Amino acid sequence: MNPRDERRTAQALASEIKDLARKHSGQMRFMEVCGTHTMAIHAAGLKSLFPESVKLVSGPGCPVCVTEKRFIDHAILLAAKYDACVTTFGDLVRVPGSSGSLTTFRSEGGTVRVVYSPLDAVEVAVAQSPRPTVFLGVGFETTIPTVAATLKAALARGVENFYVLPAFKTIHPPLRILAAKDDLHGFLLPGHVSAIIGSDCFSYLVDDFHKPGVIGGFEPLDILLALRDLVSMTVRGTSAIVNDYKRVVRADGNRAARDILYDVFEPADASWRGLGVIPGSGLAFKGPYTRFDAAAHFPVNVPESKDDPRCLCAAILTGSKTPDRCGLFGKECTPEDPVGPCMVSSEGTCAAYYKYGAV
């Protein structure tokens, strides 16, 4: 679509949303579950196009943001004790742990390598062999199948010094908890995660909570379209799961990717920043893949960690607060010197507010 048509279509959708919203008394609050949506919404300045009565709040779908401080501590302590090389996606290296981040650990002589795919992490392990190499396993259903496939390959190839410290998460359990909140009226559902898990599996939002959910793409027009559908259902008082991202998401998702995932992992409890321990919301290694489990293989004593009580990340990840309500925002907490992970992650809500602001 050429830029002029794109702008025209956007304006048309925006005014449709305004017209619909006028028919509704009171606020409509929708949650964009996924961090990539958060960023895309702010990058396109979409909020400047919405009427006052339509509010978008962020959810728990930013993998770095929901990862607990203790996980960073764990990675650093493990690497220090066993002289392991840490490999990770870039976002995680600046997340503050209890005493410094992986960046500080690196400046003090630790080995931390940023990789762009799990496969790269295996290559680093091969190059570092026999030194243990620990990949930090953070992510949702989008990333996990790739990690699982990589582990299958590593097992077949006999890479002996490659390990994963797991903090993987799945999206349904926290979503169920959030769907019960009265002040959330619908959900902009994650496009990439849904490509794996499909659209049908969100039906509980409608059946159990009578709330609409729309799966949307990541282009500004995709998001406006999804928002229009959410507003329209809310105004009419109906609820359904609508798939506005059919070019990527199928009703039953990607079966093959899920099969690989559950060949390697099985559901386990997981601890979420802001939400605490949610039963069945994480993944643990199973069968022959337990040999990759860095936590089991390299025991360390990781003390409980405490979050800065002034940091509102927990409330932000559950849609109850926005970053501008945090007293540290932009002052003591900036992307270069962050207090919470929401300010570090390239998908974090505080980072989005900081980078793209409110005009």
Partner 1 sequence: MPKNTDGRILLGHGGGGKMTGRLIRELILPRLDRGQLGQLPDSVVLSGLGDRIAYTTDSFVVSPIFFPGGNIGSLSVHGTCNDLSCSGARPVFLSLGLILEEGFPMARLQAILESVAEAADEAGVAVVTGDTKVVPRGSADGIFINTSGIGRIERPLSLSPSRISEGDQILVSGPVGNHGMAVMLSRAEFSFDFDLESDSASVWPVVERLLNLGEGLKFLRDPTRGGIAATLNEIAASSGKGVRVDESAIPVDESVAAASEILGIDPFQAANEGKIVVVVGKGLGEEALHLLSDCPVARGAALIGEVTTANPSKVVLTTRIGGSRIMAEPSGELLPRIC
Residues that bind ligand SF4 (CB under 6 A): 311-313, 316, 323, 326, 328-329, 333, 339-340, 342-343, 350
Q: Binding to partner 1 by residue 132, rule CB under 8 A?
A: no
Q: Binding to partner 1 by residue 127, rule CB under 8 A?
A: no
Compute how many other C-beta atoms are within 10 angstroms of the C-beta atom of residue 296.
13
CB of 70 to partner 1, least distance (A): 16
Nearer to ligand SF4, 150 or 349 (CB): 349
Q: Could you say which of 127, 251, 277, 358 contacts partner 1 (CB under 8 A)?
A: 358
Nearer to partner 1, 120 or 263 (CB): 120
- Identify whether the C-beta of residue 13 lies closer than 8 Å to the C-beta of residue 229: no
Label each residue of the chain as H, E or C: CCHHHHHHHHHHHHHHHHHHHHCCCCCEEEEEEEHHHHHHHHHCCHHHHCCCCEEEEEEEECCCCCCCHHHHHHHHHHHHHHCCEEEECHHHHHCCECCECHHHHHHCCCCEEECCCHHHHHHHHHHHCCCCEEEEEEECCCCHHHHHHHHHHHHHHCCCCEEEEEEEECCHHHHHHHHCCCCCCEEEECHHHHHHHCCHHHCHHHHHHCCCEEECCCCHHHHHHHHHHHHHHHHHCCCCEEECCCCCCCCCCCHHHHHHHHHHEEEEEEEECCCEEEEEEEEEECHHHHHHEHHHHCCCCCCCCCCCCCCCHHHHHCCCCCHHHCCCECCCEECCECCCHHHCCCCCHHHHHHHHCCC
Binding mask 285-324 for partner 1 (x = CB under 8 A): ----------------------------------------
Which listed option, partner 1, ligand SF4, none, makes contact with residue 274 (CB within 5 to 8 Å by class)? none
Which listed option, ligand SF4, partner 1, none, makes contact with residue 328 (CB within 5 to 8 Å by class)? ligand SF4
| Interface region with partner 1, contact rule CB under 8 A, candidates 1-9, 174-182, 188-196, 286-294 | 1-9
Residues in the chain: 359
| Interface region with partner 1, contact rule CB under 8 A, candidates 58-66, 259-267, 310-318, 329-337 | 329-337
Q: Binding to partner 1 by residue 46, rule CB under 8 A?
A: yes
Q: Could you say which of 18, 24, 47, 55 contacts partner 1 (CB under 8 A)?
A: 47
CB of 162 to partner 1, least distance (A): 17
Nearer to ligand SF4, 189 or 317 (CB): 317
Q: Could you say which of 37, 42, 69, 273 contacts partner 1 (CB under 8 A)?
A: 42
Cα 114 versus chain centre, distance? 19
Q: Could you say which of 29, 69, 70, 94 contacts partner 1 (CB under 8 A)?
A: 94
For the segment 4-23, give every residue that binds partner 1 (CB under 8 A). 6-7, 10-11
Q: Binding to partner 1 by residue 221, rule CB under 8 A?
A: yes
Q: Could you say which of 19, 108, 207, 259 contacts partner 1 (CB under 8 A)?
A: 108
What does the binding site for partner 1 look like in residue numbers (CB under 8 A)?
3, 6-7, 10-11, 42-49, 94, 96, 99-101, 103-104, 107-108, 115-116, 120, 220-221, 224, 332, 334-337, 346, 354-359
